[in-house]
């Protein structure tokens, strides 16, 4: 015989339980963990037992591999918060309705996870301006690992060994910003990613970590390797009344890097040291775009590389408009597709996805003033850069250390 919720509710109301008490017990009754506990400890079977007992969910809860805590019921959420260290991303997925039902101790834990990242004493990060204007591929590229994007007279070309592949998706974008920021902020060309890949992902990147065939560990490892294996060619055409020419810059991020994994610990990276090339450091320090890490973390949680790229591009573009004293700029969807639309086949499809992504950007960058209502172009209206750029320091001023 199965116990139904109607039977439980009938008994409670018969005993004079309040509406709040009934609602609270209804949520408990529907909890996966509660059903599992009743079944394992007492052999109690309810109408929910077999529909809610999901072994894969229990495994994810125990391993701490849940990225979206908004999918958990109150009972599971309380247990998860009590047993795992929350990242900023995980805390940001908890809804106000869930927060209202949490005990005070768990509310405090969630709040600390949010505040700890949102009130970063130094939220400014940096990226190379050429990459800000073109981005990385959104998805893995098949065949020859060659990628090229155009922005007017600027062309950025990337290439990587075919068996490694070009960097694509959210993860290499975050790693790239971290590497650029370390160079600018710490005045060194040797970057230590920390004692393990897991600590780098959770503590530095603020992202969830999981292992196994579908875990994030494999993606982070592949992203790090592909980024360091990629060569960049940045070309800029120019002309004036008397002559024309082209400026070429061939760079790779690292002269060399040392990484090693422990075969006995799910292949976790045990150490990584990146020796940044002088050419890359020089290009970065001459052309760095400042960004807000809080905005980047939020956009990463939305899993949209296009929104990530549009945020970076907009804050750079508004700075250019400010420098040129341009009140309005019109950029055709075709031109923007050539810059940032990798992996999206048609301009029409790109426009649809870009408008959706711009809505995400507006949430983290409300000062951005633009109009997407026109058929042919995106209209940018003069707005303050999200992070006002300082005068770019020279390599000599930063006194980069090669040790």
The pLDDT value recorded for residue 332 is 92
Q: What's phi and psi for 102, nearest 5 deg?
A: -80, 145
Look at the block and give the residue holding tokens 């592909």.
Answer: 226
Strand partners of residue 252: 231
User: In sequence order, what E strands does 327-385 have?
Assistant: 328-332, 369-371, 377-381
Question: Domains of the chain: which residue ranges?
Answer: 5-118, 124-398
The pLDDT value recorded for residue 121 is 60
Q: Residues with Cβ < 8 Å from 85, sequence gap 6 or more?
A: 64, 202
Element (H, E) at 205: none
Look at the block and give the residue holding tokens 């970076």.
Answer: 312
The pLDDT value recorded for residue 176 is 92
The pLDDT value recorded for residue 91 is 77
Instruction: Name the percent of the chain lying above pLDDT 90.
Output: 16
The pLDDT value recorded for residue 358 is 93
| Token pair for 195 | 């004692």
Each residue's pLDDT expressed in tens, for the chain with a length of 403 residues: 567 778 888 888 888 888 777 777 777 777 666 666 676 666 676 766 555 545 555 545 555 556 678 777 777 788 888 888 777 667 777 876 788 788 888 888 887 776 554 445 678 899 998 888 888 988 888 889 998 888 888 888 999 999 999 999 999 999 999 999 988 888 788 888 777 777 788 777 777 777 777 778 888 888 999 999 999 988 888 777 777 888 778 888 988 877 766 555 554 556 677 888 988 888 888 888 899 888 888 888 778 899 999 999 999 999 888 888 899 999 999 989 988 877 788 889 999 999 999 999 998 898 899 998 788 899 999 888 888 655 444 333 333 332 2
Per-residue pLDDT tens over the stretch 125-134: 999 988 888 8
The pLDDT value recorded for residue 263 is 54
| Token pair for 128 | 């190379």
| Token pair for 34 | 């509660």
Q: Residue 352: how many CB atoms within 10 A of its CB?
A: 12
Alpha carbon distance 301, 118 (integer Å): 14
The pLDDT value recorded for residue 89 is 66
Q: Residues with Cβ < 8 Å from 310, sequence gap 6 or more?
A: 340, 354, 357, 358, 361
Asked if 106 and 81 count as a contact pair (C-beta separation under 8 A), the reply is yes
The pLDDT value recorded for residue 399 is 35
Its pTM stands at: 0.67
Q: Residues with Cβ < 8 Å from 296, sequence gap 6 or more?
A: 125, 174, 177, 308, 311
The pLDDT value recorded for residue 36 is 66
């Amino acid at each position: 015989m199965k116990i139904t919720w109607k039977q439980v509710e009938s008994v409670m109301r018969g005993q004079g339980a309040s509406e709040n008490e009934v609602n609270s017990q209804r949520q408990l009754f529907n909890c996966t963990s509660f059903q599992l506990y009743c079944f394992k400890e007492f052999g109690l079977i309810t109408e929910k037992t077999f529909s809610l007992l999901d072994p894969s969910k229990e495994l994810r809860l125990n391993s701490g591999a849940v990225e979206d805590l908004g999918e958990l019921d109150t009972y599971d959420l309380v247990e998860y918060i009590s047993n795992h260290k929350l990242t900023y991303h995980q805390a940001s997925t908890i809804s106000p309705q869930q927060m209202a039902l949490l005990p005070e101790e768990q509310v405090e834990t969630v709040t600390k996870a949010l505040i700890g990242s949102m009130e970063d004493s130094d939220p400014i990060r940096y990226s190379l301006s050429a990459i800000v204007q073109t981005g990385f591929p959104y998805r893995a590229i098949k065949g020859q690992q060659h990628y090229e994007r155009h922005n007017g007279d600027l062309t950025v070309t990337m290439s990587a060994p075919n068996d490694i592949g070009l960097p694509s998706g959210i993860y290499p974008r975050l790693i790239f910003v971290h590497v650029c920021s370390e160079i600018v902020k710490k005045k060194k060309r040797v970057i230590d990613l920390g004692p393990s890949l897991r600590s780098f992902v959770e503590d530095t990147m603020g992202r969830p970590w999981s292992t196994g065939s579908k875990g994030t560990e494999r993606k982070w490892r592949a992203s790090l390797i592909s980024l360091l294996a990629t060569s960049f060619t940045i070309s800029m055409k120019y002309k004036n009344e008397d002559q024309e020419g082209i400026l070429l810059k061939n760079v790779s991020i690292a002269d060399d890097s040392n990484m090693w994994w422990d075969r006995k610990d799910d292949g976790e990276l045990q150490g990584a040291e990146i020796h940044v090339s002088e050419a890359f450091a020089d290009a970065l320090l001459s052309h760095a775009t400042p960004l807000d890490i809080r905005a980047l973390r939020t956009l990463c949680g939305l899993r949209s590389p296009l929104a990530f790229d549009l945020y970076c591009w907009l804050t750079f573009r508004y700075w250019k408009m400010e420098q040129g004293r341009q009140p309005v700029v019109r950029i055709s969807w075709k031109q923007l597709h050539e810059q940032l639309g990798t992996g999206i086949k048609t301009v029409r499809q790109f426009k649809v996805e870009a408008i959706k992504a711009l809505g995400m950007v507006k949430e983290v960058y409300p000062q951005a003033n633009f109009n997407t209502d026109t058929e042919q172009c995106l209209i940018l209206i003069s707005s303050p850069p999200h992070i006002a750029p300082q005068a770019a320091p020279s390599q000599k001023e930063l006194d980069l250390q090669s040790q």
